[in-house]
């Protein structure tokens, strides 16, 4: 399993170069755009954006344009995604069925936003896509495939949509389409697509399937949470996803279990299906990537030291220790500034003190964990000396 994920993006701008948003493109672990299954490509883009990179780092307060296929629209997965932030682009090759059209109408009624990709004046295109025009907010035209004279002499069924011209390479193209009423532009004239690389933290694929199986039964939250306790990578992805989509589920939460309870089984199931479709889990034949191993080991070491310093720690203290480890990993592996994490989560003072000043029991343990990761067991032992921990116990 590779240690890095790749994702390409290209800005969509106004004539004055104000950024409307970014279009995101699938890239495999080698940075190539090859894929066989559109649903996998879309799911992979969404998982990378929401679970791993995060919306703050990838597109901030702008919009994310993501290509979407018909089969994905026929699932409930979209309901787990942020409707304010994502524009779902419909390819000209999408299969038109009554079910797909009804799904688009339904999601539009809930506030989800759509764009036509590679829109056209061709009679067959207008016949196929005409029924869903009322639900489209944007129409994107490939300037290399469009006769702009059509906007002057044909009735314009796109009049109520915001128009975007892409593959703009020259100033003359920009000016021509501006005069035709286009609001936004995309292409090499403004910026080439750039490749984003990011550390990837992936759960085991079999654990994903086990969790999905649990969610299909009447399993208790305790049973579901037990799997999250074993799979730190899944917990990290959950925190990042909630940070990106539902920060209210994180606020003042005292444990991963509480986050799961707030999220609810249905939303958890749809989120899990997104990861499964993206094929981002570690298969049984794969070696776990470096960052997933690192995440697991930090949580395990934090809990080990807690039990060395406290003969019988309370469940609350155990959960706080786990959260300290996970939140510290968000900054290191997922590049979320610690102050942003603490502001959004609003954890207990014990957790804040541990992460900011390494004070209190949890803070001393966390500082000792960092020293052990650096191979400094002597200093780690000194940090925990007042709790009766000796260096030979740390080896």
β 19-26/4-13 pair status:
antiparallel
| Whether residue 306 sits in one domain with residue 257 | yes
Q: Does 285 score more than 90 pLDDT?
A: no
Q: Does 358 score more than 80 pLDDT?
A: yes
According to DSSP, residue 132 is labeled: G
| Whether residue 228 sits in one domain with residue 293 | yes
> Band of the pLDDT at 284, cuts 50, 70, 90?
low
| Whether residue 243 sits in one domain with residue 149 | no
Residue-range definition of the domain harbouring residue 40 = 4-198
| pLDDT value of residue 386 | 94
Average of per-residue pLDDT across 346-355: 92
E strands in the chain = 4-13, 19-26, 63-68, 86-90, 113-116, 138-142, 162-166, 184-186, 194-199
Average of per-residue pLDDT across 279-299: 77
Average of per-residue pLDDT across 218-247: 91
Domains of the chain: total = 2
Average of per-residue pLDDT across 123-137: 95
| pLDDT value of residue 201 | 87
CATH number for position 388: 1.10.3210.10
Q: Does 174 score more than 90 pLDDT?
A: yes
Domain C-terminal end among 198, 216, 250: 198
**Strand, coil or helix: 141:** strand
Please write the tens of the pLDDT for every residue from 181-204: 999 999 999 998 999 998 888 888
| Whether residue 179 sits in one domain with residue 206 | no
| Whether residue 188 sits in one domain with residue 212 | no
Average pLDDT, the chain: 90
Q: Does 2 score more than 90 pLDDT?
A: no
User: Could you give the percent of the chain with pLDDT greater than 90?
Assistant: 66
Average of per-residue pLDDT across 366-383: 95
Q: Pick the residue with more confidence: 281 or 100?
A: 100
| Whether residue 251 sits in one domain with residue 223 | yes
First-residue to last-residue Cα distance in the chain: 29
The conformational region for residue 250 under phi > 0 = left, psi -120 to 50 = alpha, else beta, is alpha
> Band of the pLDDT at 375, cuts 50, 70, 90?
very high
Please write the tens of the pLDDT for every residue from 141-165: 999 998 888 888 777 899 889 999 9
CATH number for position 132: 3.20.20.450
The conformational region for residue 264 under phi > 0 = left, psi -120 to 50 = alpha, else beta, is left
| Whether residue 261 sits in one domain with residue 112 | no
Q: Does 124 score more than 70 pLDDT?
A: yes
Specify whether the CB–CB gap between 242 and 259 falls below 8 A: yes
> Band of the pLDDT at 282, cuts 50, 70, 90?
low
| Whether residue 192 sits in one domain with residue 51 | yes
Distance CA 283, CA 296 (A): 17
Q: Pick the residue with more confidence: 318 or 342?
A: 318
Q: Does 1 score more than 60 pLDDT?
A: no
| Whether residue 192 sits in one domain with residue 206 | no
| Whether residue 229 sits in one domain with residue 207 | yes
Specify whether the CB–CB gap between 301 and 329 falls below 8 A: no
| Whether residue 160 sits in one domain with residue 89 | yes
Q: Does 232 score more than 80 pLDDT?
A: yes
User: SS in 3 state form for 256-276?
Assistant: HHHHHHHHCHHHHHHHHHHHH
| pLDDT value of residue 62 | 96
| pLDDT value of residue 313 | 93
Please write the tens of the pLDDT for every residue from 256-274: 999 999 999 999 999 999 9
| pLDDT value of residue 126 | 93
Q: Does 283 score more than 70 pLDDT?
A: no
| pLDDT value of residue 137 | 97
| pLDDT value of residue 153 | 75
Please write the tens of the pLDDT for every residue from 21-62: 999 999 988 778 877 778 888 999 999 999 999 998 899 999
| pLDDT value of residue 156 | 83
Domain C-terminal end among 175, 198, 221: 198
Domain C-terminal end among 146, 179, 198: 198
| Whether residue 104 sits in one domain with residue 159 | yes
């Amino acid at each position: 399993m590779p240690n890095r994920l790749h994702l390409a993006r290209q800005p969509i701008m106004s004539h004055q170069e104000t950024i409307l948003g970014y279009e995101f493109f699938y890239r495999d672990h080698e940075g190539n755009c090859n894929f066989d299954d559109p649903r996998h490509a879309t799911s992979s883009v969404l998982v990378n954006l929401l679970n791993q990179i995060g919306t703050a780092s990838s597109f901030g307060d702008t919009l994310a344009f993501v290509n979407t296929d018909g089969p994905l629209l026929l699932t409930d997965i979209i309901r787990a995604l942020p409707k304010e932030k994502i524009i779902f682009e419909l390819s000209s090759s999408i299969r038109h069925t009554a079910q797909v059209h009804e799904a688009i109408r339904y999601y539009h009624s809930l506030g989800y936003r759509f764009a036509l990709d590679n829109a056209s004046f061709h009679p067959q295109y207008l016949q196929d896509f005409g029924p869903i025009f009322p639900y489209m907010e944007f129409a994107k035209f490939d300037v290399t495939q469009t006769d702009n004279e059509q906007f002057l002499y044909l009735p314009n069924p796109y009049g109520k949509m915001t128009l975007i011209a892409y593959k703009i390479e020259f100033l003359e193209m920009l000016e021509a389409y501006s005069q035709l009423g286009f609001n936004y532009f995309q292409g090499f004239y403004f910026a080439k697509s750039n490749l984003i690389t990011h550390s990837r933290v992936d759960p085991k694929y079999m654990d994903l399937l086990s969790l999905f199986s649990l969610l299909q039964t009447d399993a208790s939250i305790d049973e579901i949470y037990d799997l999250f306790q074993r799979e730190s990578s899944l917990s990290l992805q959950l925190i990042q996803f909630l940070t990106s989509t539902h920060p209210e589920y994180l606020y003042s939460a005292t444990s991963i279990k509480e986050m799961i309870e707030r999220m609810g089984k249905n939303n958890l199931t749809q989120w899990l299906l997104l990861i499964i479709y993206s094929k981002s889990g570690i298969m049984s034949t794969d070696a776990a990537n470096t960052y997933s191993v690192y995440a697991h080991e930090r949580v395990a070491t934090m809990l080990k030291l807690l039990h060395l310093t406290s003969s019988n720690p309370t469940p609350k203290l155990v959960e706080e220790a786990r959260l300290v480890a996970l939140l510290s990993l968000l900054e290191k592996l997922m590049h979320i500034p610690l102050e942003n994490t603490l502001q959004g989560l609003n954890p207990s003072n014990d957790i804040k003190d541990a992460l900011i000043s390494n004070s209190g029991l949890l803070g001393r343990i966390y500082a000792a964990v960092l020293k052990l990761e650096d191979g400094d067991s002597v200093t780690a032992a000194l940090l925990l000396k007042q709790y009766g921990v000796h260096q030979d116990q740390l080896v």
